[in-house]
Amino acid sequence: MTAKTADGKEVYKTERHYHTQATDCRTNKMLYGAQVKTQYIRDTALQPFETKAETFEIFLPAGVRTVDVTVSLRYEINKPANFIEIYKVERKVSLDR
Amino acid sequence: MKFLKSLVVVFLVMIPISAFGEKAKTIEELAAMYDSARCKECHAEIYARWENSHHARSLMGVQDGLMMTPLAIKGLTPFSPDDPAQATLATFPCFKCHLPQALVAADDAFAADYAKALVAQDKARVSKLRITCIVCHNTKAIIHRLSEGPPEADVLYGSKDVAAHDDEFFKKIKKGSIMDHAIMCGQCHGLGPNLEFENPVQCATLYGSYEHNYISKGGTQQCQECHMKKVDGFADHLIAPNWNDLEGTKKILLDTITMDVQTVGYDWLLKSKDWKPMVVVNTKINQNAGHRIPDG
C-alpha cells in the first residue's frame, strides 16, 4: 500500500504478507522449500470464513492535505517480482472539504 | 534392432506395472510404464484438460522451476548425495506425492538417472514423468487396503462401476470409495510435516487446513466440488489453478477473494489545538475457499 502526493512523492509505503511461515526447528531462520521446512511458526494466510482486517494510519507531512492512495493485493509466485495482481484500488483522499 | 526397441517400448506401454516384474531404472522406463496416452482415444476432453494440469508436470514445479533440483546437489539439502550417481529413492522424499509410482515401480537406478537429469536441468526428460490417469485411478485409488484390498491390476477406479472397459489391460471400472471425497486429494495435498522420513519434510498442508479450519467452521464441500466442476459434461481434470496460466489463475483468485477498501482523511486531535493531518485506510479481505490461501 502506498500514499503519494500530487507530484508523485511517496509519503507512505507498507506491506502485509499473508502466508504460512516455517523454520526447520533447528534455528529461528525462516525457510522456504519443502525439503527443509519442518514446522510452521506463524500463519498469517487468508483463512476460510475469516475476514482479514487491517487499519493503516498515515500521518501526512506538513503542508500535505491530499494524497493518492493505492492498495494492491497480489499473489506472489515463488519470488516477490513474480506476481498476479488480484486487485488494485486507487483513491484520492483529501483532508479539505 | 530398431524393431526390437520399438517392440520393447510398446510392450512397456501396454503392460501395467502391477503385472510387470522388473522395476524401472530410467526416466523413460518409468514414464512408459505409467503412460496414459492411450486413454485419450476415448477420453479426449478429459485428457486434454489433464495435459494442461500440474498433475501432468508434477516434477516441473510452478512455472517449470524443477523444484527438486536442490535434492540432487551435494550440500543443498540433508537428503542430497555427494554425487547424483549415488542418489537413491530415499534421496527424493517428494516422490511420495510428486511421483508415487516411483516408490512401487522404480528402483535406485531410476533415482540416480533422475538426479543426473536434474543436475543437467534436462526439462525435456524430467517432464516425461507425470501423475497420469493410472496413478489416481489405480495406484492411489484405494486407501482402505485392509478392508478393500490393494488396487487390482486390471481395474481402474472411478465414480461409478463400468462392467466392460475397452482397454487392453484395465478391463473393468469399479466405483472407488473415495473418488468423490476430499481425502482422495488429501493423500498428497497434505496434513503437515511428513515425519516418516529421516529428516522431516513439510510441503502442502492443504488437507490439514481443510479438515481443521474449514470443516471445523461448518464447511461441507469436497475438493472435487470446486476444483473438478464439470466442463462440457466431464469432471474438469485441469484441477485448477494452473499456475502457468496467469490469466486463468487470476480469474479464479478474483472469484475466490474479495477486498474492500475504505478511506478517510481528517485532522486528528490528540491535544488542544495540535491537529495532525491523517489519512486512514481500512481494508477487509475475505475468501471463500475450503482452505487457507495460499497453500498447496
**More confident: A79 or B260:** B260
Closest CB to A95: pick one of B214, B266, B289: B266
User: What three-state secondary structure class fits B190?
Assistant: coil
H or E stretch at B110: helix B108-119
Which residues fall within 8 angstroms of residue B69, CB to CB, at 6 or more apart?
A: B118, B119, B121
Q: Which residues pair with A40 in a beta bridge?
A: A22
Burial of A13 (0-12, 13-18, 19+ CB in 10 A): exposed
The per-residue pLDDT for range A27-84, each reduced to its tens digit, is 999 999 898 999 999 999 999 999 999 999 999 999 999 999 999 999 999 889 999 9
The per-residue pLDDT for range B30-56, each reduced to its tens digit, is 999 999 999 999 999 999 999 999 999
The model's pTM is 0.90
Please report the pLDDT score of residue B212 as a whole number. Answer: 97
Tell me if B53 sits within 8 A of B46, measured CB to CB.
no
The per-residue pLDDT for range B62-81, each reduced to its tens digit, is 888 899 999 999 999 999 99
pLDDT bracket for residue B1 (50, 70, 90): very low
Closest CB to B246: pick one of A3, A55, A84: A84
The per-residue pLDDT for range B136-182, each reduced to its tens digit, is 999 999 999 999 999 999 999 999 999 999 999 999 999 999 999 99
Cβ contact A22–B219 (<8 Å): no
Listing DSSP states for A29-92 in one string gives: --B--TTT--EEEEE-SBPTT--EEEEEEEEPPTT--EEEEEEEEEEEESEEEEEEEEEEEEEE
Burial of B241 (0-12, 13-18, 19+ CB in 10 A): buried
The pLDDT of residue B18 is above 50: no
B259 inside 8 A of chain A by CB: yes
Q: For cell 542430497, what's the residue?
A: B80
Closest CB to B277: pick one of A20, A56, A64: A64
The pLDDT of residue B5 is above 50: no
Burial of B255 (0-12, 13-18, 19+ CB in 10 A): exposed
Rounded Cα gap, residues B107 and B105, in angstroms: 7
Instruction: Kindly provide the ipTM of the predicted complex, given to two decimals.
Output: 0.96
The per-residue pLDDT for range B88-122, each reduced to its tens digit, is 999 999 999 999 999 999 999 999 999 999 999 99
A34-67 per-residue burial string, b: 16 or more CB within 10 A, e: under 16: bbbbbebeebebbbbeeebeeebebebeeebeeb
Q: For cell 482479514, what's the residue?
A: A52
The pLDDT of residue B6 is above 60: no
pLDDT bracket for residue B20 (50, 70, 90): low
- Name chain A contacts of B268, Cβ cutoff 8 Å: 59
Please report the pLDDT score of residue B65 as a whole number. Answer: 86
H helix and E strand count, chain B: 14, 6
Substitution target from A21, A24, A35 for chain B, most B beta carbons within 10 A:
A35
Shortest distance, CA A42 to any CA of chain B (angstroms): 13
